[in-house]
Every structure is written in C-alpha cells, then in structure tokens.
Structure 1
Amino acid sequence: MAAVDADLPARGAVRWVITGVAVLVLLADIVANLVFPESRGTIPQQLLVGYLAFALAMFGWHPRVAAVAVLFGFPLGMWADDISPVIFFATACTGAVAATTARRVLIGYAASYVAIMVVVGVLPDSGWDAVDVFMMLLLAAASFAVGFVVRRVRWNEQALAARVARMEAMLEAAKREERERIGDELHDLIIRDLTIIAMHAKVLERSRNPEQLASSREVIASSSRHALGDLRRVLRLTRTEGSGDWLDGGVELLAPALQAVGSQLGALGIELELDVSESAVEALDPTTSASFARALREAAANVIKHASGSPRVMVRLTDEGRNVVLDVNNAPAPGRAPRRVPVEEDGDLPAGGYGLARMTERFGVLGGGVTAGPDSSGGWRVRAHLPR
C-alpha cells in the first residue's frame, strides 16, 4: 500500500515527451506573437503562458512541484487579468496530479482546486458563474478518474515487475544453492576417494612389499566402488524433484567411516589410534554422526595428500558437556620441522582448501564449528564440534 501512496513520476521517453510538449506550447506562443502582433497579449499574460508551460514540464520530472506550480498559477492569472487559461489548465492537470503524485498531495490539490473554483464563482467580476464552475468541476472529476486509472495501471506494472524480480532472485538463489550442494557432494564423496585411489596407485608403482601392494589394491577397489556408488547418488539428486535430504541415499555415519579411514591409512603404513568416549557415542544422532564422518574423511584425505609420511593419526571423540568434539591429529613425519601452514607433499595432488572451508560453513549452520592448524609437536590438528 505504501507504493500506491508514493509519487510515480514519468520515466524514460514519456518524461521527454511531456517536456517536449511544454516547449512546443511555449514556442507556439512566441511564434503567434511574432506573426500576429495585433493579438499579442500583455507582458503578464505572456509570462503566464511561460509559467504554465514550466508547470507542465515539471509533471515529467517532479510531480509535486508541478502540482504546487499549477495552483500558484491562479494568483498569477488574476495578476495578468486572464484567469480562464489557468482554470482550463488546472482542470486538465487534475488527471496528471492523480496519475503522478502521492495521495496526500492529490487531496491537497483537489481541496485547493475546489476552494479556488468556489471563490472564482462567487467573485462578480471573474467572468465565471455558478454553471461554468460546476462544468469545470465535472471536467476535473472526469480528468481525475482517467488519471486514477492510469496510476493504478502503472502501479500494477511496477508491482508485477518487482514480483518478477523477486522470483528471479529466488530462482537464482535456489540454483546457486543446488550447485553448491552438488559441489559439496562431489568433493566430499568422490574427490576424496579419487585422492585415495591416486595415492595408492603411486604405492603400486613404488612399493615392492607384497602385503602393502595387496592392501593398496584392496583400498583402490573399495574406494572405486564407493566413488561409483556416490556418483550414482549425486546423479540421482540432479534428476529428482525437491531439495531432498542429504542424509538419504546411504550417507555413511561415523562408525563405518572410522573403519574405512583405518584401512586407507593402514595401507599407507599410517597407524590409526582411536580414543572414543562412550558418552560421546551415545550423544550422536544421525545428523551429528554423518557430519563427523565427513569431517573425519576430509581430515584423513588431507593427511594422505599433505602428510603421507606421518607415522600416526590420533582420532578422539569426546563429550565436553554441551558439545561433542572430534579431534584428528597427525604426528609429524620423522625428521620434519614443525609446520606453520599445510604443505603439499605430492605435486600431482594440489591443495584447494575448498573442503575445509565448506566443512566450516556446514558445521556453523548446525551450531558448531571447525578449527584447523599446527599443534605443538609439529603435526596438524583438525577439531570439529557440534552441540549435543
């Protein structure tokens, strides 16, 4: 409703058309005075024409100024001893005021117009009797009706345009959210498996240990099956209607993730040490468990990419009262100096930082948080917490 009670000035070409008409009126008066000097009016009357042309032009730029200017034309017409042009102009402009100005401005204009017309009808030397005034009031009412209809049409157009813009913004936001969701799925469920496959493929190239080779082959086979299954699920997400639930479709929980990570790290000669609190396990719901599983997978993949020489990874799940906390620490590789930032151990597996950033956002939505950085021993620590 606020939009209805606001000014609706002309825009674009309409604004310049109104201005052009005002200029043409002024030029026509000047030409008429030059061609027919015997019919030339007095200087006040010539000034009155210029003033009314100015008031007309203002309807294209500042409707409120135009409305006030039209009303001030009445005393100017009395000064020029020619009030009739002002009356006709003000009557016609009632529609323009209704089409372009706010409600309170229109009410003020209408009240002033009626009062002035009553005064004009009462004055004996105005040249306007009661019938003339009544006819002008009828014409003003008709002009008002036309202007009001134009205003409603313009407002409906603007309201529709605003609604379309909001719907387009919502659609774009939904598309962006869906792209981010699919990107998260690809990263969390597929790229990590491909990273593990790539690392164990290098083990097959470089190792001569039969047990390690067999273990790496098993990890590659298992990760390949896991990646294919997850890829089918991501494709299914793109073909189904609705947002769905990211817990649907077999997303793994923390317990199987711990088992899988242990196998992947063990095949690279990295020992996995577990310290799991029983009360923390009891506090896990499916959402919390799945979130911690993804955090564990991300941390383990980063260990494989950036610290494959680490001898040990410690995973702790603790209950800290209001929060359940998952800590993943990897010990530094023997002979390595303490790290200040993550380093890339394998030039074929570039670090992007996407996984940690999105994991931080995801935990933040759930009311938790994620921190990552070097520990005092020179290793790397990822700490994720969620409320109970």
Structure 2
Amino acid sequence: MRRTAMVGNAVLGAGFALVLLVMAAQYAAQGRVWALDAATGAVVCALALGRERHRGAAAALGLAVAGAAALIAREAGLPGEPGAAAVLGLLVLGGSAVRTLPWRPAAALGAAGLALMTAGLLAAPAPATSFRIGIEVWALALAAGLGLRLLDHRRRAAAESVRRDERLALARELHDLVAHHITGVVVQTQAARIVARKRPEQLDETLAGIETAGADALSAMRRVVGLLRAADDTPGTAPTTPGTAELAALVRRFDDHGPAVQLHLPDQNATPWPPEVATTVHRIVQESLTNVARHAAHARTAQVTVAHPPGALTVTVTDDAPPAHTRHLRPVGFGLLGMRERVEALGGTFTAGPAPTGGWTVHAELPVPTGATR
C-alpha cells in the first residue's frame, strides 16, 4: 500500500511539473508575467504532494496561498490566479481532505474554502474571474472528495460484513467444540464420584482424564476470545471436521475447473489436527483454488502443501501463472480478507501475493497446541 502511494505521488508530481513548465512557457511566449503563476502553482502543488502528514493543514494552507496570490494579481494587474497548476493542486488538496478527515473538520474546511473564495469574489471589482474559478475548483474538489468518501465507506462496510460473517462461522464451530469438551468433563466428573467410592485406586487416572479434557476446553476457549457471536444466534448441529480425505476430494473436484493441482500432505502418523484448525485449512485451500480457477487461467499447475512442524500447521497454495498475468488480473478481494480474519483469530499468520518468479502464493501458519487432538 505504501509503495502504491509513493508511485501515485511520483506520477502526480510529474504531472504538476509538466503543467508548471507548459504554463510558464505559454506566458513567456505571450509576453506575460509568469513568475507569480509559477510560484503559486509550485507552492500549492508541493503542499498537495506533502499532504499525507496533515491533510487538513495542507488544504487550508493551499487555500490561503491561492487566495493571497489572487489578491496580489488583482492589485498588480497580473493574470488572474489561481493558475492551472494551482487549480490541480487545490483539487488534490480539497478532495483528499474531504475524503479522509473526520466529518466535522472536513465540513469546516470545505465551508471555509467556499467562504474565502466568495468573500474575494464580492470584494473584487468585476469581472473577478480568478475568484469565480476558485469557487468552481473548490466545489469540484469537495464533490470528488465526498464521492470517494462514500465509496470508501461502502468498501469498509462490505469488508466488515465479511469479517463479521467469518467470525460468526468460526465462533459457531468453536462453540460446538467447547461444548463437546465440557460435556466430557461433566461425564468424567460423574464417573469420578463413582470410582472414588468403589475403586479409589483408579481415581488418579480418572482425574487425569478430567484434567486433559479441561485443558483442551481452555485451549479452545482462548481461541474464541475476540470473536463476535450474535446474541440470537443458536448453534446447529456440530459440523463434520474436514480432514486429509476431504482435502484430497476437494483437490480432485478442482482438477476439472482449472490447472492440475498437486496435493502434498504431512505424515499420516503425525498428531491429528484440532477441529477448528482443520476447518480453517480446508477453507484456505478451497478459497485459494477457487481464486486460481477464476484468475489464473494461464497457469499450468497449482501446488497445495500442508506441513505439520512441531507446534504449528502450515498450508501453502501456489500456482505458476505468468508474471504479467499475475500482476494485472489478481484482485485482492474479500475472500482473502475472510481467510486472514479466520487465521488471525486463531493466533496464526497469513500472507498472500505474487511470487517473484510469477504465480500467486497464499501461505498460512496456524498454531497447534502440543498434544492437540481432534
């Protein structure tokens, strides 16, 4: 994201420089004074390029500079300000401020700019073209910023909806899992009371089973911390926990809809995966292969690798689409957002993006408690 902003600012700076040079050359060719226009444009454009530090202050200062230049031009009988470069700078400053500032500062800044330009228009003798242009430019900047602000709001609302749905689904799964563990604790506790009366020598073994079930329940409960669950949502039947057989079946289904998929699974004798981790792995593979089928038609193969190092479970999905295809046609959609939300809710890490040699890579690492069982 930061790199994209830097590239955008570089392109914007080049555009500002080109407009400044063209306008200065045009004024010089006409025998008109170009220094004020160039200086005003350079200052406003510089403020626009440095707006990231404080958008409100940059926009207010840009307005002040443009207004002062307009007054100077009127008193000196020079060509009206703001010039073309300053107009572009004000568009960027105003739109950026209205898009990102909180509502009250954004509204105050927009009103202040319109008031400043209107006051200059009323105080200046006719025709006061520069102030009329300023009002039009500032109104256009406010409209553009407001439109982008509404688009950002809709995008955030859609992303939050994805997060909420993902958290709810995972919370339901973990709820059923913890209910299973608690039921086991209750049953074993009842058995312990009988054992204590009839076979006291077996009590330690029974208590050890209760301790294990309680530890498993606590581990699952820690994973559910921070997840949201609607108050009126009632859990249904416990979902079937997908395992290696379900992953293999999933991969076979995708063979007919995209590139050939190769599945690499850990040793079958490894510690079984906790249900919430197994469900997450299945979801990551399913979403990743769906993205490969949709957006990597030029890929020849895809690789799904699941590894089970001590204390963790990793899943990696890659494809070999050409670099150009990867760069231009891979959207960062809400499916990736849902996967990241699910993985991070379980205390894991998630990355997704183009590989250096082409193709796309999705990688997730999920913590697995030592001795965890299904």
TM-score grouping bracket, smaller chain normalisation: 0.3 to 0.5
**Which has the greater radius of gyration?**
1
TM-score normalised to structure 2 length: 0.43
TM-score normalised to structure 1 length: 0.41
